[in-house]
């Protein structure tokens, strides 16, 4: 049945994150021929509305306020609740990002609504939107529906296809005024650690290092390969515990869960704790000296060898490809 879905466009450093377009793609499926309304929240975000429309939103509602320049759960929930009140949608889809994970449960709590988090696919079946999501760190999946009220979900980045961008699409971008008051948390400082490279959660390619990199310097060849491929650099818990890199790079059960198109594991043994964070990647390459390493059991392609020999060769190969392309 056709219905109306809201999608929150997530803005970072003045641009929309990809997951916003994926959320529109998800909402298109869930709305089943109905309307998809983009929502933008910030202090100066109206100009981004057109891009949401080009990716499939029918129209966009913008809430702007100086107090919304940075994300706070109080400010953003007040803005989003104002849009929900004004639009009275059947459903709402947000990215399962730091922002989405922080904001969605508060809004669901306020509305006493159900919320299905970390969705990796969805379909409409038997009059319900059926959401599929990983449980037990990806060792199993569940299909879930909302049994009443708002159909509310957060979607995992990199899993749901966005629509093709269509620059000929147009639609209304209108402003809604909301009274933003009482911000109980104040951001004093932001230290950028992850911004040096590509964002892990949205990366299409990830080069990841484990204990086998042996030192902080050992990550250098991985970084070079990442640069050639436009990839993000990740790490196993072992590498983080050994202080070879920052915990912000950690992929695993504790740490980040990633699903890139290509995951290259270098010197990673493949402990269950690590697999939980990356085993749903589309293609996995393992490079490890130990032919018995568990990582080879989940890898699509494996090279048994020293990463310090293999990785620079890979970098050279990909460089050649780039030159020829």
Partner 1 sequence: MNIYVLLKRTFDTEEKITLSNGKINEEGAEFIINPYDEYAVEEAIQIRDAQGGEVTVVSVGNEEAEKQLRTALAMGADKAVLINIEDDVENGDQFTTSKVLAEYLKDKEVDLIIAGNVAIDGGSGQVGPRVAELLNIPYVTTITDLNIAGTTVSVTRDVEGDSETIETTLPLLVTAQQGLNEPRYPSLPGIMKAKKKPLEELELDDLDLEEDDVEAKTKTIEIFLPPTKEAGKVLSGDISAQVGELVQLLRSEAKVI
Q: Which of residues 254-283 bind partner 1 (CB under 8 A)?
A: 254-256, 261-262, 272-273, 276, 280, 282-283
Report the residue from 46, 121, 248, 294 that binds partner 1 according to the rule CB under 8 A.
Answer: 248
CB of 31 to partner 1, least distance (A): 19
Nearer to partner 1, 173 or 200 (CB): 200
Mapping DSSP to helix (H, G, I), strand (E, B) and coil, where does residue 14 land? coil
* In the complex, least distance from residue 60 CB atom to partner 1, rounded to whole angstroms: 25
The correct pick among 168, 179, 181, 185 for binding partner 1 (CB under 8 A) is 185
Q: Does the annotation flag 272 for ligand binding?
A: yes
Q: According to CB under 8 A, which one of 181, 186, 217, 323 is a site residue for partner 1?
A: 186
Cα separation, 318 vs 264, whole angstroms:
14
CA distance linking residue 318 with residue 231, whole number of Å: 12
First and final C-alpha spacing in the chain: 47
d(CA 28, CA 25): 5
Q: Confirm whether residue 160 is marked as ligand binding.
A: no
**86 carries a ligand binding annotation:** no
Q: How far is the CB of 57 from partner 1 (least distance, A)?
A: 24
The interface region with partner 1, picked from 40-48, 139-147, 160-168, 218-226 by CB under 8 A, is 139-147
- Residue 256 DSSP class: B
Strands 232-235 and 128-135: unpaired
Give the list of residues 6+ apart from residue 152 with CB closer than 8 angstroms, or none.
Answer: 91, 92, 93, 104, 107, 108, 111, 113, 114, 115, 116, 146
Identify residues 98-137 at the interface with partner 1 (CB under 8 A): 98, 101-102, 104-106, 108-110, 112-118, 130, 133-137
| Window 201 to 220, contacts with partner 1 (CB under 8 A) | 201, 205
Q: In what order do the strands lie in the sheet with 173-175?
A: 116-119, 151-155, 91-95, 5-9, 36-42, 59-64, 173-175
Q: How many angstroms separate the Cα of 46 from the Cα of each of 38, 93, 154, 325?
A: 11, 19, 23, 38
Least separation in angstroms between CB 53 and partner 1: 27
142 forms part of the interface with partner 1 (CB under 8 A): yes
> What is the distance between the alpha carbons of residues 116 and 123, in angstroms, rounded to a whole number?
14
Q: Cβ 204 to partner 1, closest distance in Å?
A: 8
Contact present, 271 and 294 (Cβ < 8 Å):
yes
Q: How many residues bind partner 1 (CB under 8 A)?
A: 92
- The residue range among 40-48, 167-175, 193-201, 208-216 that interacts with partner 1, by the rule CB under 8 A, is 193-201
Tell whether residue 164 is among the known ligand binding residues.
no
**φ, ψ for residue 69, nearest 5 deg:** -60, -35
What residues numbered 8-67 form the site for partner 1, per CB under 8 A? none
Exactly one of 73, 214, 227, 242 binds partner 1 (CB under 8 A); that residue is 73
Longest dimension (CA), the chain: 61
Is 268 annotated as a binding-site member? yes
Binding track over 285-314 against partner 1, x by CB under 8 A:
xx----x----xxxxxxxxxx---xx--xx
Residue 238 CA to residue 212 CA, distance in Å, equals 9
Residue of the chain from 85, 123, 166, 317 that contacts partner 1 (CB under 8 A)? 317
CB of 229 to partner 1, least distance (A): 8
The C-alpha angle with vertex 243 and arms to 238 and 246, in degrees rounded to 5, equals 95
Q: Which residues carry a binding-site annotation for FAD?
A: 211, 236-237, 250-254, 267-274, 288
């Amino acid at each position: 049945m056709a219905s109306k879905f809201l999608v929150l466009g997530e803005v970072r450093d003045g641009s929309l994150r990809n997951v916003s377009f994926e959320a529109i793609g998800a909402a298109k499926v869930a709305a089943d021929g109905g309307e998809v309304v983009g929502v933008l929240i910030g202090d100066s975000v109206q100009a981004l509305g057109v891009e949401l429309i080009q990716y499939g939103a029918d129209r966009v509602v913008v809430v702007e306020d100086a107090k919304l320049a940075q994300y706070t759960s109080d400010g953003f929930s007040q803005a989003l609740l104002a849009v929900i009140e004004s639009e009275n949608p059947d459903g709402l889809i947000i990215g399962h990002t730091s922002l989405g994970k922080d904001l969605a449960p508060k809004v669901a709590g306020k509305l006493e609504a159900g919320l299905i988090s970390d969705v990796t696919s969805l379909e409409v079946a038997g009059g319900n939107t059926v959401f599929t999501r990983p449980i037990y760190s990806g060792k199993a999946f569940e299909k879930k529906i909302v049994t009443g009220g708002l159909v509310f979900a957060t979607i995992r980045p990199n899993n749901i296809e966005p629509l093709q961008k269509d620059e000929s699409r147009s639609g209304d971008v209108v402003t809604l005024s909301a009274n933003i008051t009482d911000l109980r948390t104040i951001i004093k400082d932001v230290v950028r650690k992850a911004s040096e490279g590509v964002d892990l959660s949205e990366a299409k390619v990830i080069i990841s290092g484990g204990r086998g990199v042996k030192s902080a310097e050992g990550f250098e060849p991985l970084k070079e390969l990442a640069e050639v491929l436009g990839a993000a650099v990740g790490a196993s818990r072992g590498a983080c515990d050994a202080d070879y890199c920052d915990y912000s790079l950690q992929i695993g059960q504790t740490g980040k869960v990633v699903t890139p198109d290509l995951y290259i594991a270098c010197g990673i043994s493949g402990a269950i704790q690590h697999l939980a964070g990356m085993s749903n990647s589309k293609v996995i390459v393992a490079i490890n000296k130990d032919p018995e390493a568990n990582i080879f059991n989940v890898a699509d392609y494996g090279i048994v060898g020293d990463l310090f020999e293999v990785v620079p060769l890979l970098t050279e190969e990909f460089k050649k490809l780039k030159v020829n392309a």
